[in-house]
Amino acid sequence: SAVISQKPSRDICQRGTSLTIQCQVDSQVTMMFWYRQQPGQSLTLIATANQGSEATYESGFVIDKFPISRPNLTFSTLTVSNMSPEDSSIYLCSVETGREQFFGPGTRLTVL
C-alpha cells in the first residue's frame, strides 16, 4: 500500500489566479495520476505523470491549463491555471503499486 498526502486540503481562490497542489507519497512509485471530481460527479482522469517523462493528458485537458511536475519518485504537483468557477472541484492524486491504485485525501478547490 501507499500513504499519500496532499496540500492544501482545501482552498478558496479568486477567478484568474492559479493554485498549485502538492502530492507526497511515502514510497517511491513510478506511476502517478491526477483526477478531478466535479461536484456530484464521478472521477475523471486529468493526466498521468511518470517520473522522467512529460505528463500524458487526457482528452479535454491541456498542459497550459493543468501543468504538472514530477521531479522525483515520491512527489508531484498539479497547477490549476487561470482559474474560473468551473474549475471548482476536488482534485485527487493517486499512485499505482502492484496494479492497485491508492488515492490521496483530495484538495477541495472553490473558485469565486
Task: Kindly list the residues in this chain that would bind other proteins in the complex (CB under 8 A).
Answer: 31, 33, 41-45, 48, 56, 92, 94, 96, 99-106, 108
| Complex with other proteins: residue 38 or 82, whichever CB lies closer | 38
Question: Shortest Cβ distance from residue 61 to other proteins (Å)?
Answer: 13
CB of 26 to other proteins, least distance (A): 15
DSSP 1-48: ---EEEE-SEEEE-TT--EEEEEEESS--SEEEEEEE-TT--EEEEEE
CA dihedral 64, 97, 93, 56 (to 10 degrees): 10
DSSP character for 58? Answer: P
CB of 82 vs other proteins, minimal distance in Å = 26
Nearer to other proteins, 16 or 63 (CB): 63
Of 31 and 63, which CB lies nearer to other proteins in the complex structure?
A: 31
